[in-house]
């Protein structure tokens, strides 16, 4: 049984009310419940967290390395410009752990600034555009 860290970046705590036409109507608490149940059905456990802080996300990635936990990461807007988060994500994958980058929407079908991810090059894989099912696909991949 693997314990999977599912990390969410800025504004994802507002799921449900934030641009529901893009991110859907499920709120963050419902997402947490669904992912915990889904991981359990697959014989794993999911520790689902959200923060608006870059420093907090980085320290959770360090924790993943130290505790040898695979990671599902929705870096939200940090995806597009945080080299500090990319360096922390590289620590995870270079230590032999899986880190799957996920997005609820398909950033490539949106504004130009969302087309670039500084995380993808250091991720084990990327899943985007399947709504909140993107997280479940990532858990399955792990």
Q: Which residues bind ligand DQA (CB under 6 A)?
A: 11, 74, 76-77, 79, 103-105, 107, 114
44 vs 114 by CB, closer to ligand DQA: 114
Residue with tokens 């907090």: 56
Query: Which listed residue (44, 62, 81, 103) is catalytic?
Result: 103
Residue with tokens 């084990």: 124
Of 110, 112, 90, 113, which is closest to residue 101 (Cα–Cα)?
90
- What is the smallest separation between the CB atom of 86 and ligand DQA, expressed in angstroms? 14
67 vs 104 by CB, closer to ligand DQA: 104
98 vs 103 by CB, closer to ligand DQA: 103
7 vs 97 by CB, closer to ligand DQA: 7
The kind and range of the H/E element at 126 are: strand 125-128
Residue 34 buriedness (CB in 10 A; 0-12 / 13-18 / 19+): middle
Q: Specify whether 23 is catalytic.
A: yes
β-partners of residue 99 are 71
- What is the smallest separation between the CB atom of 43 and ligand DQA, expressed in angstroms? 26
The kind and range of the H/E element at 20 are: helix 20-23
Structure tokens at 110: 């949106």
- What is the smallest separation between the CB atom of 96 and ligand DQA, expressed in angstroms? 25
- What is the smallest separation between the CB atom of 107 and ligand DQA, expressed in angstroms? 5
Which residues are known catalytic residues? 23, 103
């Amino acid at each position: 049984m693997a314990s999977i860290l599912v990390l969410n970046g800025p504004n994802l705590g507002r799921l449900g009310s934030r641009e529901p036409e893009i991110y859907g109507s499920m709120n963050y608490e419902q997402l947490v419940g669904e992912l915990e149940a889904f991981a359990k059905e697959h014989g794993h456990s999911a520790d689902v967290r959200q923060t608006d802080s870059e420093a907090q996300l980085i320290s959770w990635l360090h924790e993943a390395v130290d505790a040898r936990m695979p990671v599902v990461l929705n870096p939200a807007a940090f995806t597009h410009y945080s080299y500090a988060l990319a360096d922390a994500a590289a620590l995870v994958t270079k230590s032999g752990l899986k880190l799957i980058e996920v997005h609820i929407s398909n950033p490539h079908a949106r504004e130009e600034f969302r087309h670039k991810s500084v995380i993808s090059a250091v991720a084990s894989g990327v899943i985007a555009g399947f709504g909140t099912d993107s997280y479940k696909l990532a858990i399955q991949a792990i």
